[in-house]
Every structure is written in C-alpha cells, then in structure tokens.
Amino acid sequence: MKHIKLILVLAAAMGLGACQSKVEYGDATEVETVNENFGSSDLQAITAKMVDDMMSFPTVVAMTVKDRPVIFVDKIKNKTSEHIDTESVTDSISNKLLRSGKFRFIDMTKVDAVRKQLDYQNNAGMVDPSSAINFGRQIGAQFMLYGNLSSIVKQDGSTKDVYYKMTMRLMDLETGLIEWSDEKEIRKTKSKSFLGL
C-alpha cells in the first residue's frame, strides 16, 4: 500500500512538473497580435494619435502659448460589444497631456473623496482650524475632454473583421463650443486556416 501511495505522489509531481509554464518580460511597446480584440497596441496607438493631434491643433496651440488651461477628462464611453478598460485609455491620454506641461487637470473621479476630507477638516472638530483647508477655494475647469470608443464586427465564414473608432472632443465649458475634435480608426482582421488553427 505504501508503494502505491509513493507511486501516486511521484506521478502527480511529474505531471505537475510537465505542466509548468514559463513567464518572461516583453517589450510593452511591441505590437501585440494575440487576437482581434482591443489590446495594448490599440491603446498606445489611440493615445499617441489623440494627444499628438490635439497638441498640434492651431486652436489648442494658441490657448496654451501663455497659459496652462484647466481641464478635466470625462471617462471614455465604451460603445463596443467587448469589455474594454476605458479608464486605462483615459488615464493614458491624461498622463500624456499632463506631461506635456501645457495643461492642468482636475480629477473628477476624486471629488467625493475630497469633499469628505474637507468636511472632516472643517466640521469634525478634530483639525486645528488654522490648518484646515477652506471650502470654495478650488479652481474650476475651463475645458472638458471626452469621447467614446465604438466598434463594428463582421464575420464571413473563417474571416472576422473588427473596426474600432475612437472619437474625442475638447469642449469650452463657458461657451459650450467644441474647440477640438478628432478620431482614430483601427481595423483588425483574423482569418482561420483550413485546419481551424
């Protein structure tokens, strides 16, 4: 009986050893083509296109020559049939714009947390009033950057075609005028071989 248990334990260990996987680091900027779904290469292409175009648009160039306008970025709307982390797209665009040194940002996702902290500082009776930050001192945004990501998926036999379109706009909050707009298109095609591989 002991021999049978030992054989089973050794067989299990050998089986697990044969199923080990290997993890390696890769280049995060390398084109990723694992499948036709939205991926890291698409996010990078969209981010680069949108930011480069916005930064070189004449109206935006003029407004950032002597000033750093305050903007907030609304979360990108996902109008595709896929689960896409549009917050990651929003973050990448915000980071590139902020690093340009041309804009200042308000993070609307943290307004409730800031409100709670200011309420605590001013109303809890636990913070020295001389060090508490007063309500009503924040800077208001002048512009809102927003957009959506949509897709069209078509399949014919063994070929699947996925078209993505990212549209973004910069709105002047005082006038409601759109000061900049652009879109980036990506098309991906997947064809199955005769053997279905």
CATH number, domain containing residue 64 = 3.40.50
176 within some domain: yes
**pLDDT for the residue numbered 155:** 83
52 within some domain: yes
Q: Per-residue pLDDT tens for 144-187?
A: 999 998 888 888 888 888 888 999 999 999 999 999 999 988 88
What total number of domains does the chain contain?
A: 1
Q: What is the pTM of this model?
A: 0.73
21 within some domain: no
17 within some domain: no
Strands (E), 80-156: 104-105, 143-156
Among 37-41, 107-111, 171-175, name the most confident range.
171-175
197 within some domain: no
Q: Per-residue pLDDT tens for 115-141?
A: 899 889 988 888 888 888 888 888 899
Q: Structural domain of residue 184, as residue ranges?
A: 36-106+141-191
Name the DSSP class of 140. P
Coil, strand or helix at 188? strand
180 within some domain: yes
74 within some domain: yes
159 within some domain: yes
Q: Per-residue pLDDT tens for 8-23?
A: 666 666 665 555 677 7
Strands (E), 22-177: 70-73, 77-79, 104-105, 143-156, 159-172
